[in-house]
Structure 1
Amino acid sequence: MSRNWQKHVFLFFLVLTPFLKNNAQESADSLLQLINSKSADEVHSGYMGLAEFYQRKDSTKAADYLAKVDEDIEELSDSTLHKLMVRKVVFYTQEYKNAEAVDFGKLILKEATERKDTFLIAETHKRISASYFRIYEYDSTLAHLKKASTYYKQLKDRTNYGLMIMREGGVYYAKGNYAEAMRKAFESTEIFKEIDQNLQLAHAYMQLGNIHYFLQAYQKASHYYALASDYYLMMKDSIGWAFSYSNLGLVKIEQDSFKLGLKIQLAALPIIQKSGREISVGNTYHYIGIAYLGLNQLDSADKYLKKSLKFNKRSNYLAGIAYDLKALGEIALNRKETDSALIFGKSAKAITDSIDNLEAKKEINLFFSKVYEAKNNSEQAYWHLKKYHELLDSTTLSDEKDIEQLAFEQQSQLERAQYELNLSHQRELLKEKENQSQQFLIIILSIIAVISIFFTGLISSTNRRNKYLNKELQDKQDLLESELKTKKSLLKEIHHRVKNNLQIISSMLSIQSQYIDDERVENIFRESRSRIMSMSLIHESLYKREDLDNALFSTYVKELIPQLVETYHVDESKVHLYMKINDLELSLDDSIPCGLIINEIISNSLKHAFPNGKEGNISIEMFKEDNGTIHLKIADDGIGFPEGVVPKNQDTFGFLLLYSLVEQLEAEIEVHNKEGVSFHVFWKPKEDKLLD
């Protein structure tokens, strides 16, 4: 049956071929007529059309016609100049002549600048940046992207402005600056959400997935890839869905789920092949080869990796070629062919040395370390392993200030959303009261009007009016209740996302701390994680609570204390914790500083109160006094402070943070250094509860 089908298709094309040839000839003839026109627009359009016509038929003719497109461009209209710029850059891109695309773009940019055509300037900067990116000139890419975004902002073109921000993130991601890449990706998602650009939003989620993938945050990467996949399906973009699905498969491969990853890649491959994007097809072949390599099916791995290499060489995708050569070296290494593995590695290194791709360089050095170890060359193995770790450190979020800033930005977004939610609720209440007043006035005026006419008409008119108003009031009440329910759900989602982002930051700190040899710096990272964890727990306790109006602070404290014990590796058989926490409701403005105060004091006791395995007790009490003041008491029976030490006068970070938080809480604090240490914090709770 398959052979018959092939015959039918073959016969169909035999019948159709003469018509295709006639149509093609007619097209070429019409284009030749255009170049003899007196209109410069038609002449240049003819030359461009002929170059495209001969692109796959006669490269010499195509090049000759293409060169004529550059002549006398000052005579072209704005619209024709823009169309020719796009078509010629696309032509160069298809031929993998990105340097020529840059030169042509600069020629158009000069003409557009002389015409003061802001839109064409912005579009040309965008095209030039894409060409620079393909030849790994990232600094030039960024320069043109920033210029393009400036012009799009002037044009109030939010879609392209967001796209430029997202591409800036892509450049930072390629350079290994994941903190800046993440900021740009988040910024672009907010823009696309505002203007309801779901397809671009899917691209942004894909980029966030890629960033988290290279940070080895695979669960978060899968989350963003799945989001992108859903948006592509919603937009009926099968190609985009296939790319996101393929990336999900790559995550599974990285998690050593080779069979599942292979199954996903094979499902995505046919759709990606239909896209005609050779680089993407080559990448998918590479992922399939890596999956087979993980399954130790070396012949299949070799087959698909060589397919990938063929596509990447055809498209001149240097990074892809380097990854393929490295993977082929892995196969040779598995076969104990260390000399062949070394040759593959050196070929890959020659390519990575010529491009700005930190991830590829990192992987090549790790590969060399394995090869030289197999060859018993410990000196070279150590040198490459050391180089790998240097590159690894340069491509991680090592700047603690950057991480804390990300946490602060997420916290600010939550507070802003809560403020807007409360403000919207107050406006709705005010509008409802105003509507009630208007309705009452209408009823009174109706009664007066009807009395002036006749008594019977008054009764019937009033009844009809009341029924109408009651229905309208009920409809508005139902609408308000629906909107309030939606906003409560939105607030819970915000708490959930902030909690997730804080956990990501905590995980990144944990990963970074593994590469720290200095115990003091490691302690700083541990304390930072503890503080971030305390804030994360507050948001977790809020979004898990079914009734946000009654989110109890006591629940948060009971979850925080055991995690602190685990963080500082305390022997619970020697240090006993006693908690007596009344059921209290705190506003978010009180919850954050109060939670951090508890974190600082308990952490201090766990670290210093019971040295050398000393046994002891830590107690925490929290209740509301008769005058409405909240009293927080934390005490231990440990060794206490050294004689003469006044906590308020200490310049350590922990005590400075503690007193700063007390001031933020508008509280008073008392410290007693007798039979251990006890802290007493008193403050009046804020009245602005969540969603009140």
Structure 2
Amino acid sequence: MMHNLKKIVSILCCVLVLNVSAQSTQNDEGSTLTEFQNTNVPQDRFDVFFNAVNRYNVNSAYDWLDTIKVYLSNAQKLKDTAAIQLYKLMQTQVYNDLGEYDKSTALAKELYSAKDSLDSTSKKIVLNVLDDNYANLQLYDKQIEIRKEKRELGFTENVAFYDIYSNLGLHRKARNQYIMEVKPTIADNDSYGLAIYHSKVGNYLRLDNSAPTALSELKKAKAYLDVFINDISKQKTEEQLFESDLLKAEIEGNIGKCHVQLNEYEEAIPLLEKSIEILSSSSKKAHKSEVIENTLNLSDANLQLERFSEAKKNLDIDFENISILQNIKRNSLLAAYYDKVESFKNAAMYYKRNERIKDSLNKKQSSLIKQQLVTIVANEDLVNSQRLIDEQKRINELARSEMKAKDERINLVFISLIFTLLGFAGLVYAYLKSIKNQRLIAEQKHIIENALVEKDSLLKEIHHRVKNNLQMVSSLLSLQTKNTRSKSAIEALEEGKSRVKAMALIHQKLYQNDDLSVIEMQGYIESLINSVQSVYKKGGHNISITIDAEGTELDIDRAIPFGLILNELVSNSFKYAFPENDENGKIYIHLRKNGDQGYFEYTDNGIGLPEDTEERTHSSMGIRLMNRLVNQLQSKLNIDKASEGVRFWFNFN
């Protein structure tokens, strides 16, 4: 009787709380929380919570947390196990959204300890929350374990490391792995997928301080996204449109940050302001972090333009969950602001704050990065080790089956023993023979190594002689130039001389290298430009030349055509691009080779190509030569005309 009475009282309390909650949310009609409270079944509430496009559109995460706690308490009083589990799942997600990662992790681990009682959807939610928590807590080894669990349950196909590499500051490694893993999975007609892909690649380039190349990728991302948004042939859900707007704001914010890196502050400000306005409507932590980052860059741009009040207004915003690095940047900007307004005492205070934070951070991060990198490598090796263990288990099972069969055939034991002894004798014989073979191999190896050393010496001598011969040809062309009066003939001879020098440089770099198979392109390009400048003595010395080819190596079959192409482009820039004044002239050379894929880009800000470029293509020796050389690289030369200057680019294998 008493038990029934308690149950009735609990039900009445539940109804009372629901009525109070319903009355308190009458003013929030249209909010997701109101829809949640008007739903009677726990499973339906669960669906409303996780299927909402933006659950925090009206009510904050704290409102949600208070409401869920009430429902959880009532479910515990009624001992409704299924409802308790659902409310705890929602509570775990809300703690994650609030940035209380420790609480979220503890609750998620408690839920997953009873994973047998969880359905597939609940398991996926718990694992995704743990994945995000460990990333924010910088516990990357545990994050990898969660991702392996998701792969084993079929939620993901493989364990991705690129975001972990980026979190550790290894942005180039993150970009390379992201390209290898993600690019092959995107269809050519998937404009939204391509927008996300180019946005990610562009952001990794921006974080790696390659702002010009990052801008190119981010503009591609924006173009693909516009195609997706404007495609009326495909029906789009409310959620897809909402996510598209957020992605566009994210891309525009990153473009704005690239302009800040390039000191183009006027271009950056409207992009950053628009991005902040749209991303502020999102409840995702990544977007909240982007809002902080964009606001700091906006402050930086205003500060550089001496709009001090605008800069200070943005710096005074009290952000939640600001990261250590963002706090350091904010302190630096505040110190710079006080320097500019001559409040040196306040400036010194913020400089000192940063010094304390950086000292602590450097000690922790150095140890952390080493530890996490070791963990990642160990985990990658662990996958291979596990495969070997599984294979060994399979082999052991087969061996046990064979032994059992042999035990059942007792009459063949002695025959088996004889064969075993014979086999042992064979092993001894094979062992003795292998010792002899090892001696022969060692002798042959010594002979081969000597032959290789001799071959390298001969190859270096050949390259040296080829370079000398080409220099002799260049000298002959110089002599011929002195004996020629025709201006066009002199120009043709000078061009020929420049091309010969470009090839001679290749052979010079080869015989100077320890590795005769490849050429380090950064040094080669610098030497080539110096060589071209010596030919055109009257021009080119005031032009700012940027070379981005660090760490790129090419073999001789690719280096020679590439050198001749670059020789033509630089020569043309020196001769034609800046006819009046080259003081503001800029040339940008970008070369990258990732595995089998290569990319070359050349731009200048000169007067650009003439209007009849297409007609000249068939008659111009330089363009015809470049087209043929690019064909040798199994590619096609692309030419983009701009309001200022010109851009040549091509991909190659």
TM-score range, shorter chain: 0.3 to 0.5
TM-score scaled by length of structure 1: 0.44
TM-score scaled by length of structure 2: 0.47
